[in-house]
Amino acid sequence: MHPVLADLVSVLDLESIEANIFRGPSRDIGSPQVFGGQVLGQALIAASRTVEERSVHSLHAYFLRRGDVNAPIVYEVDRARDGGSFSNRRVVAIQHGRQIFNLAASFHINEPGFEHALQAPDVPGPEGLPEVMKVWAARLDNLPRKVREFLGNQRPFHVRIVEENHNDSDDMQPVKHVWMKAVDELPDDPQLHQAMLAYISDYELLGTATLPHGEERALRGELQMASLDHAMWFHRPCRVDEWLLFSFDSPSAGGARGLARGQVFTRDGQLVLSTAQEGLIRQR
């Protein structure tokens, strides 16, 4: 397996230190704090480790404090309920004796039911689209050193953006389509693929809310941005080592907050995930 992807798999493979208590390492990917997708994925793994024969169908999370990239994170799981077909778990993430994140997740047995789904948007496929890092390469000289290092770090996922929205104008629509997949093949572990999906759902989501206001302002440090909450609804199984289309939009921004939504489709157009996030967007 590619070393960067193998490291992410190890980050999500939590250590069990007591009944319902887990510990996970942190990774510095160049951001000022622990990447939100890491905490989201680890918390989901912690909750999933306490559930049998049921898969997560929804989660709702709040980011409370910045995570320290130099310290591990402890996850305490509350087995809130195990019913006939649903289980609910609450997870608290702790660093240095303080809560930095909490999550509620619901799990459901596999059972048949009515089905319908929205169609995938008609956009070009990933072939021929440049990696997002190559798109940014021509603009790196105008960005701060830490941002250049962050954008230059090798990622465990291919990221290819359909629209070249990366500019400093104020007339972009708050819409973005992104193809993503892991850089290498992953094990056949449904819990791992769900956690990986939670991890990458935080990659490009909130940035959609900055498009009408000049996306590069955030990279130049002119905007203070932070995830406030994150919600996910898992509709159907999928693999994150196959191409997935992330369709993002931002219906509103105001009051120093922006809301972004996303739908995720497989290559053959099947809707597998819906997600939403509100974040702080404050001009410095």
What is the C-alpha separation between 74 and 46, in angstroms, rounded?
10
Distance from C-alpha of 162 to C-alpha of 129, rounded to nearest angstrom: 7
Burial class (CB in 10 A: 0-12, 13-18, 19+), 254: exposed
Catalytic option among 42, 48, 194, 202: 202
Active site residue 227: yes
- Identify whether 277 is a catalytic site residue: yes
Beta bridge partners, 162, equal none
Catalytic residue among 194, 201, 227, 247: 227
Report strand pairing: 21-24 vs 271-283.
unpaired
Distance CA 65, CA 68 (A): 9
Q: Is 26 a catalytic residue?
A: no
Give the separation between CA 21 and CA 18, rounded to whole angstroms.
Answer: 5
Tokens of 34: 């622990």
As annotated, the active-site residues are 202, 227, 277
